């Protein structure tokens, strides 16, 4: 075998390895691009605030036992039935409300809570509004994800699968961060620092809307409980 023939022979033998290396490089690049997009670590409140959105509560969704105030930015559980008009989007049993604005891309918002029973949620618009079944309660179907804040416990729930959280106490101010494309939902206790309460990785198939349950969670209630959009 001549020198050139021998060289071509060895190059031919190496060809599958070169193709494999090129394939691996392309796949690694795809993974690297995705990791860069989805797993950005945000360490300070300032980092989160660059994704902040101004939210307002949707009058057409609010339960009649919840009272809106301060330009639809505060919701409070009240024993007096409010004179809201009938509307197909209104929650008629659960003391819940959705925001008017949807969540897309990366979005961050903060709320101040008071009282004993508050749920902080994100939901698809297609969630049921009528009746006392699981299909219309935040966190009890595949339509919504919810952080339940009760006097002695904190629980995350989706599709009625509950996760008891080990945190003993959290600030009255809670921050919520959503990366819709990456399927990330995170809750933070906001004080002098940002402390992670819980995070979940999933796949969002529809547009999300922030929502809140106030003063009435799974049969437990507390008059005067409230949520304020910051």
Q: Which of 11-20, 76-85, 166-175 has the lowest mean pLDDT?
A: 11-20
Q: What is the pLDDT of residues 96-138, one digit of tens each?
A: 999 999 998 999 999 999 998 999 999 999 999 999 999 999 9
The token pair that represents 153 in the structure block = 């416990």
pLDDT averaged over the chain?
86
| First CA to last CA distance, the chain | 80
What local confidence, expressed as pLDDT, does residue 10 receive?
53
Coil, helix or strand for 39? coil
Coil, helix or strand for 45? helix
Q: What is the pLDDT of residues 180-223, one digit of tens each?
A: 999 999 999 999 889 999 999 999 999 999 999 999 776 677 78
What local confidence, expressed as pLDDT, does residue 80 receive?
92
What local confidence, expressed as pLDDT, does residue 37 receive?
37
State the DSSP H helix or E strand holding residue 23, giving kind and residue range, or none if neither: helix 3-38
What local confidence, expressed as pLDDT, does residue 116 receive?
87
User: Distances in Å between the alpha carbon of 50 and those of 46, 60, 71, 109, 124?
Assistant: 7, 29, 24, 10, 24
Phi–psi pair at 15, nearest 5 degrees = -55, -45
Q: What percent of the chain has pLDDT over 70?
A: 80
Q: What is the pLDDT of residues 133-191, one digit of tens each?
A: 999 999 999 999 999 999 889 999 999 999 999 998 899 999 999 999 999 999 999 99
Other beta carbons within 10 angstroms of residue 131's beta carbon come to 13
What local confidence, expressed as pLDDT, does residue 223 receive?
83
**Which DSSP letter does residue 135 get?**
G
The Cα–Cα gap between 185 and 122 comes to: 9
What local confidence, expressed as pLDDT, does residue 216 receive?
79
State the DSSP H helix or E strand holding residue 19, giving kind and residue range, or none if neither: helix 3-38
Q: Please list, in sequence order, all residues whose beta carbon lies within 8 angstroms of the beta carbon of residue 181, skipping any fewer than 6 positions away.
A: 37, 38, 105
> pTM (2 decimals)?
0.81
What local confidence, expressed as pLDDT, does residue 41 receive?
58
Beta strands in 8-142 (DSSP E): 66-69, 74-77, 96-98, 106-114, 118-124
What local confidence, expressed as pLDDT, does residue 152 receive?
85
**What would you measure as the largest C-alpha separation in the chain, in angstroms?**
98
Q: Please list, in sequence order, all residues whose beta carbon lies within 8 angstroms of the beta carbon of residue 187, skipping any fewer than 6 positions away.
A: 120, 147, 156, 174, 175, 176, 196, 197, 198, 199
pLDDT band for position 2 (50/70/90)? low
The Cα–Cα gap between 161 and 202 comes to: 14
């Amino acid at each position: 075998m001549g020198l050139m023939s021998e060289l071509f022979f060895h190059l031919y033998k190496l060809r599958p390895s070169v193709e494999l290396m090129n394939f691996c490089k392309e796949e690694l690049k795809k993974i690297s691009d995705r990791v860069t997009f989805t797993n950005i670590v945000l360490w300070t409140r300032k980092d989160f605030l660059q994704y902040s959105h101004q939210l307002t509560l949707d009058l057409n969704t609010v339960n009649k036992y919840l009272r809106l105030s301060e330009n639809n930015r505060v919701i409070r559980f009240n024993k007096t039935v409010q004179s809201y008009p009938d509307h197909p989007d209104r929650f008629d049993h659960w003391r819940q409300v959705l925001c008017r604005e949807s969540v897309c891309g990366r979005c961050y918002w903060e709320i101040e809570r008071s009282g004993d029973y508050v749920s902080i949620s994100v939901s698809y618009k297609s969630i049921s509004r009528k009746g006392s079944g699981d299909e219309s309660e935040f966190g009890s179907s595949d339509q919504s994800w919810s952080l339940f804040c009760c006097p002695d416990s904190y629980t995350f729930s989706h599709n009625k699968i509950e996760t008891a959280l080990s945190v003993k106490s959290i600030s009255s101010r809670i921050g919520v961060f959503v990366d819709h494309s990456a399927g990330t939902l995170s809750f933070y206790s906001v004080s002098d620092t940002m402390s992670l309460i819980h995070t979940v990785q999933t796949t969002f198939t529809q547009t999300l809307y922030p929502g809140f349950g106030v003063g009435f969670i799974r049969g437990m209630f507390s008059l005067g409980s409230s949520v304020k959009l910051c």
